[in-house]
Amino acid sequence: MRLPTWPAGLVAVVAALLVGTGPSLHGQEGFKFKSGVELVNVNVTVTDRSGRFISGLTQEDFVVYDDTHEQEITHFTAERVPVSLGITLDTSGSMAGEKMQSAKEALYVPTSPTEKYQAKAFIDTFVYRAGDVVGAQTEGLLGRLGMGLAALASFAVPLAMAWLVLGAWLGYAQRLRATQHTEGVSA
């Protein structure tokens, strides 16, 4: 069964309309956005010259610099953390047919709760921060167009509805794939 692709296309068009750059709002009255960072996570893997992992390191074994200024390490743990990966898919003619189908199927395999938890770090950082950037850019664009926060609110409701439709569609597609996967395993 082929799923409709219009929800993803709708979100892509809306996202493209939101991305805007231009002059800042310095010197203008109105809403001002201020941002700061209180804590930066730095995940490290330490290996020797042979590529073997070195374990047993403590907080005192590390020094962190921001430019040339030494920074205090306020939190330290030696536990393993999930890794976020980006996947690049070759869409050239050499991948046509069965190769491309196999690659696509590998991307949509239902995952275990452990795998979902490991993906949480990526979602919490990239997706939420991308949303913050889109929100700030939208507010800036509306400000340059002479519109205020009321216009932002009236724009956000249809955008939220588009995300709701996309989320429902993705949930339906995942349930369908999970059902097909379990039927394929039982057969």
Residue range 9-42, pLDDT digits in tens? 656 655 555 554 444 445 556 667 677 777 888 8
Collect all residues with Cβ–Cβ distance below 8 Å to 64 and sequence separation of at least 6: 42, 70, 71, 73
The residue with tokens 């069965």 is: 98
The amino acid present at 53, given as its one-letter code, is F
Domain count, the chain: 1
At 41 the pLDDT is 81
Sign of the alpha-carbon torsion through 84, 8, 90, 111: positive
At 50 the pLDDT is 86
Whole-prediction pTM: 0.30
d(CA 60, CA 76): 10
At 4 the pLDDT is 57
**Local structure of residue 124 (DSSP, 8 states):** I
* Coarse DSSP helix, strand, coil percentages of the chain, rounded to the nearest 5 percent: 55, 5, 45
Q: Burial, 11: exposed, middle or buried (Cβ in 10 Å; 0-12, 13-18, 19+)?
A: middle
With CA atoms as reference, report the closest residue to 100 among 91, 109, 113, 111: 91
Domain membership of residue 34 (yes or no) is: no
At 22 the pLDDT is 43
User: What is the residue range of 114's domain?
Assistant: 41-186
At 12 the pLDDT is 61
At 186 the pLDDT is 57
Domain membership of residue 77 (yes or no) is: yes
Mean pLDDT by 10 residues, the chain (187 residues): 57 56 51 73 85 87 89 85 69 79 71 69 73 79 77 79 89 84 62
Domain membership of residue 35 (yes or no) is: no
Domain membership of residue 27 (yes or no) is: no
Collect all residues with Cβ–Cβ distance below 8 Å to 89 and sequence separation of at least 6: 95, 103, 104, 107
At 30 the pLDDT is 63
